[in-house]
Amino acid sequence: MKRRLNASPAEVYKAWTDPDLLVRWFGPENVVAQEAEIDPRVDGAYHVVMIENTGERHEVLGRYLEVVENERLVFSWSWITTPERVSRVTVTLKPDGDGTILTLLHEKLADDAAVRGHTHGWTGTMVKLEAYFA
């Protein structure tokens, strides 16, 4: 998916790599990111805890596979409840005037249900990220 954000690539990159900023926008509309640990370097780990409006707790974690400051993040993705299902997320940032074109690709998902669920989750997350930079 692609979104144009009203922020520079450096600002968008920081929103993805600074835990204090990430918890302000990460997760779809029915979820609040409660805490995040982020070590944005190759083989560095991340862990995000999210709470759904039902009270259900969700935790995602992974490792950074590629880090190009202000341009690109590639990281593994797995839910703490299904650690054997490891997928990959690529976030690419391109300058666009005074804004940024963000492209997000989530691949190697386990099945069609996972594709549908993650598409829903990322779509809501992108809406919140756009609002964060509005």
Q: How many domains does the chain have?
A: 1
Q: Scanning the structure block, which residue is given the tokens 């492209």? A: 103
Contacts of 84 (CB under 8 A, 6+ apart): 78
- What CATH code is carried by the domain that includes residue 31? 3.30.530.20
Percent share of the chain, pLDDT over 90: 100
Note the pLDDT of residue 18.
Answer: 98
Backbone φ, ψ for residue 30 (5° rounding): -95, 15
Its pTM stands at 0.95
Host domain of residue 113 = 2-132
User: Are the CB atoms for 128 and 22 separated by under 8 Å?
Assistant: no
Note the pLDDT of residue 39.
Answer: 98
Which portions of the chain are predicted below pLDDT 70?
none
